[in-house]
Structure 1
């Protein structure tokens, strides 16, 4: 099977040029020869395993969305901003450029904090298009019952746009505060 086959494409993102001032390490681990520092923007195959996992945190492509990874250089297919492929003999790559262009088309509102713009794009495209949500598990000690609340793309966008937020965002923040207090010595 050729590397350029659509069957092998698992994600899309941006190669971080080390000249941009980014570290030569990812998650505290130095990049091995033959690997690039990559920011993962979206998933094509959610359950595909990543090449250099962060054990217990980032082991699949879906878990890596919005994070940075070490990715093998020979498993990267470059496209221009117009979606044209820059690697020789690449075929059937229309899905990756299409998804990347949709993702890059989203322009966060001016009041969205800079460090949350990737999350804004993710919620506006991947979450909205797929109907996926972010599960937030709650311990029994928080509300007296064990449960999971699901953040929808609307909840994320409301929060990032500084609009009136609803119960899922407030409950998620309460769970976060609880975990901070619980884990503080």
Structure 2
């Protein structure tokens, strides 16, 4: 897909281009200044949609909570960006939103062109509900439409017990829409699922057997380098019990997989909804370096090679965007088995 006609945005100076974007120009309507995720746009900022990442680890000017802080994590989301850090594309077409004209009495004239997008920027989110559509998802989508419209968000805390740290996550209407319409699952939804999974683990007195990893701290959807991820994960493994498993959802280029690590035994189990074997040597090296750091912190000698087992018998997705749902299913099956016999 070509992005030559898109605008480019930069960080620090126009010489530091970090992504391609489309601009959505929305004027002041009836005296109400446009805001996005709590940021007043005014004349200095523009509402942009990141369409292609150039420098994924670059910090965005206005972070959205602590969930979207870098370009990679803001991909596909409308955010605010300083106008003086936006460069035009080859064809600097700006998406225009036509505001209604006002009469002398201050009332807007009705017009067929009022509030009409010249170019589609953000289509209305709709969920197709057939006769067999789950009632729980109907209630979820009704709540989301009422509570998360107009840029509103829902925030929740990650417990130190479940993730090894206390952290706030933010969920958007588009995140819930993806769940309700079988779309691509966002990291915030994955974390919310893990949060409730940990409550089950705690209730059944399995905390010494199962722990979780925050997917935003590692891999393609997080910010940082492989070295930083390894160090953070090694710290998470510190204090692991003998036989304890760490469930690690990992998103690489819009595809979720599950890696289960038993750090004390230096064992790794890999589950891919597409039933692919581990083709990316970088992920193998990352896990190996993490366990090596973990062993060094304990002043123990690590094995020459970490043992990997590809779990080829896991259920396989049939669609293109169901990987997140399958990974949450894998985790549910694991924690509901008190004997932890998922390996066999």
TM-score of the pair, normalised by structure 2? 0.29
Greater C-alpha Rg: 2
TM-score of the pair, normalised by structure 1? 0.48
